[in-house]
Amino acid sequence: MLHFGPENGVYVYFRYTKTGKIMVILNKNKQEKVLDVARYAEMIQPGVSMHEVLTDNQFTLGNQISIAGKTAMILEVK
């Protein structure tokens, strides 16, 4: 497990093994937050495929991740 200290009411941590990686984002704010992917560069890079577990949404990671207020995101890094 690798966690990044909370910043602006958003907490991010990764669970990973040699074969898989999960990113969990928790936003305690009422408003949406936009995260700069560069902060998490040791775990993810723009251009990787992501699978949002709770919504089954698949996307290619850009330079930012948006998370709605008062929500959690569970992202599987492909």
- Note if the pTM is more than 0.85: yes
Q: Where are the domains of the chain?
A: 2-77
Q: What's the topology of domain 2-77?
A: Immunoglobulin-like (2.60.40)
What is the block-wise mean pLDDT of the chain (78 residues), using blocks of 10 residues?
97 97 98 98 96 96 97 96
The answer for residues whose C-beta is within 8 angstroms of residue 11's C-beta and 6 or more apart is 3, 4, 5, 25, 26, 28
Amino acid at 28: K
Q: Tell which residue, 33, 37, 44, has the closest CA to residue 2.
A: 44
Q: What is the pLDDT of residue 28?
A: 98
